[in-house]
Amino acid sequence: MSVSLEKYILAVITINRQRVGGGAPVFYADEEKELEQIAFTLEKILDGIAHEITPDTLIIVKHS
Amino acid sequence: MMGNYTVPVVMGVMFGVAARLYMLRTDYRQYPTYPHGRIIHIALGFIAALIGSVVIPSILKPDWTAVTFLGLAAQQFRDVRNMERNMLQQLDSMELVPRGVSYIEGIAQVFEGRNYLVMLTSLIVTLVAIRAPFWWAIVVGIAMFAVNRWLMSGKVLGQIADIKQGHIVLDGPNLYVDDIYIMNIGLQSDRDAIREHGIGVVVTPKNPNSLVTIANLGQRQAILHDVSSIHGVYRDSGEPALVPLIKRDMQNGRLGIFLLPEEKDRSKVLKTIERVPVLDSAIRLPREASVNQQTRGTR
C-alpha cells in the first residue's frame, strides 16, 4: 500500500455500451442497480477497488 | 587475581540485565511478543551485560587478547537488527494495516541500540565498582537508567505537528478529509460504510522541517498502523475499498488522514496520533542546511 508498484484494470462495468472497449473484460448492465450489483460482486471476488469514472461506468482496479 | 573483580562483574551484569528488562516493555505494539520474544531479548541482554562488564577487568589485568575478543563479540549484536527486521517483515504481510518498512527499520534499530546501552551500563557500573566503594556503583547504576531513558526517547508526532479533527466529505464518488482529496469510491455500499465508520484527521506541520518529515510515506504508514493496532480497524481481506489512507495537500504540506477505527472515539484517536513516534528515518532538517542558513541571514 505504501509503495504502489502497479495498478491495473481488472474489469469494466458499464451501462453505456458505446463508451468502453479494449483489453479489460467488460460487463454490461441495464440499469444503475444492476451496475452496482455487478461491481459489488466483482470487487469482492477480484479484491480490487471499484472506482467511478462516470456515473454510468465503473472500473475495478487492483492496487498492489 | 580474578577474585578481586567478582563483585564488580556480578554487579555490572545485574545492572545490565536490569537495564535490558527496563527497556523491554511490551506495550500496545505487542512487540516483542510475549513470552517467547522476550526470552530471546533477555538472553541477548544477559550476554551484552556480560561483555560490557568484563571489558574493564580485562583492560586492568591487562589481557589484550580478551579485549580483542570482546570487541569481536560486541560486533555480533549487529545481527540483532537483522533478526528483528526479518521477523517483522515476515509478519507484516499478515497485518490488515502493515507497519511499513520504515517503522520496521526503526524498531530493529532500537533493538540493536538497546543492547549497546546495556553494554555501556554494565561497563560503567563495573568501572565504578572497581574504583569506588560498593554503594557508589549502585548509585551510578540507577543514574544509568535515567541516562538510558533519555537516550532512548524520541520525539512524538504531537511535538512537530498540530493534530486536529477533520470532516469526512463524500462528493459523489470522491472522498475528502476537509478539502484534501483521498480517493475515489465506486460502490454505494462502500460509501455508506465510510460515512458510518470513517474518521477524518488533519495534521498541520509546525515548521518547514516537520513538513518534510510528515510527508515521508513510512511515517504516514506508521500513523495508520498505530491507530489501527490501538483502536482496531473496520476492514477485512476482500474489502479493498475500506482502507485507511493518508494523502498530502501539496500546497502547504498538511496531511489528510482517513481512518476506519473499530472504536469510533475521536478524542482517543487524536491522542493516539499525537503519540505516534517520529521515525528516525523520516526526520529531515532542511532548515539546518547551509543554503537555508545563508538566505535567512540576507533577508
pLDDT at A64: 66
Nearest to A36 among B101, B183, B187 (CB): B187
**Cα B16 to the chain's mean position, in Å?**
21
All three cell numbers of B221, joined, read 504508514
**Does residue A56 sit at the B interface (CB-CB below 8 Å)?**
no
Inter-chain contacts counted by CB atoms under 8 A, chains A and B: 54
User: Alpha-carbon distance A60 to B273, whole Å?
Assistant: 32
| Amino acid letter, A23 | G
Query: Residues B106-121: pLDDT tens digits?
Result: 988 888 888 999 999 9
Residue in chain B closest to A49 (alpha carbons) equals B241
Domain residue extents for chain B: 2-151, 158-286
* pLDDT value at B239 more than 50: yes
Average pLDDT, chain B: 88
* 3-state SS class at A10: strand
Q: Report if residue A1 sits inside a domain.
A: no
Give me the pLDDT at residue A39, please.
Answer: 92
Cα distances from B217 to residues A25, B148, B186, B212, in angstroms, run 33, 29, 25, 10
CA distances from B96 to A32, A48, B135, B221, B224 (A): 32, 15, 51, 12, 11
> How many whole angstroms separate alpha carbon A59 and alpha carbon B191?
16
pTM above 0.90, yes or no: no
* pLDDT recorded at residue B78: 86
* CB contacts, 8 Å: B185 with chain A: 49-52
- A51/B238 touch (CB, cutoff 8 Å), yes or no: no
| Nearest chain B alpha carbon to A13 | B186
pLDDT in tens, B28-42: 666 677 678 888 889
State how beta strands B161-166 and B199-205 pair. antiparallel
CA distance A48 to chain B (A): 6
Task: Name the minimum distance, in Å, from the CA of B241 to any CA of chain A.
Answer: 5
Q: Which of B18-22, B88-92, B130-134, B200-204 has the highest mean pLDDT?
A: B200-204
Within 8 A of B218 by CB-CB distance, chain A residues are 2
Compare B46 and A3 and report the one with higher pLDDT.
B46
Q: Is A36 on the interface with B (CB under 8 A)?
A: yes
Asked if residue B202 has pLDDT above 70, the reply is yes
Measured between beta carbons, the chain B residues lying within 8 angstroms of A49 are 183, 185-186, 240-241, 243
Given CB atoms, is A38 within the 8 Å cutoff of chain B? no
The answer to whether residue A1 neighbours chain B at the CB level (below 8 Å) is: yes
Return the C-alpha cell found at B77: 549484536
Can you give the pLDDT at residue B12? 92
The per-residue pLDDT for B299 is 44
- DSSP 8-class letter at B172: T
Instruction: Dump pLDDT digits (tens) for A5-52.
Output: 467 888 999 998 888 877 889 999 999 999 999 999 999 898 889 999
**pLDDT digit string (tens) for B67-107?**
888 888 888 888 888 988 998 899 898 889 999 999 999 98
What is the percent of chain B with per-residue pLDDT over 90, rounded to a whole number? Answer: 55
Amino acid residing at B294 = Q
- String of DSSP letters for B27-95: -TT--SPTTHHHHHHHHHHHHHHHHHHHHHHHHHTT-HHHHHHHHHHHHTTHHHHHHHHHHHHHHHTT-
Query: Any CB–CB contact under 8 A between B45 and chain A?
Result: no
- pLDDT for B293 equals 79
Which range marks the domain in which residue A30 is found? 7-63
Residue of A nearest to B243 (CA): A1
Can you give the pLDDT at residue B179? Answer: 92
Q: Determine the pLDDT at residue B27.
A: 66
Q: What is the pLDDT of residue B298?
A: 47
The CA distance from B92 to the nearest CA of chain A, in Å, is 12
Helix (H, G, I), strand (E, B) or coil at A60: strand
Instruction: Say how many domains are in chain A.
Output: 1
With bands split at pLDDT 50, 70 and 90, how would you rate the model's confidence at A4?
Answer: very low
The CA-based dihedral angle spanning residues B61, B65, B69, B70, taken in that order and rounded to the nearest 10 degrees: 20
Q: How many CA atoms lie within 13 A of B235 on its CB side?
A: 23
pLDDT of residue B247: 94
Flag if B184 and A52 touch (Cβ within 8 Å).
yes
**Which grid coordinates are listed for B242?**
475500506
Residue A2 lies in a domain: no
B contact residues 148-177, partner A, Cβ 8 Å cutoff = 172-173
Contacts of A63 in chain B (CB under 8 A): 240
Q: What is the DSSP letter of B278?
A: P
Q: B187, B245, B260: which to substitute to probe chain A, counting the most A Cβ within 10 Å? A: B187
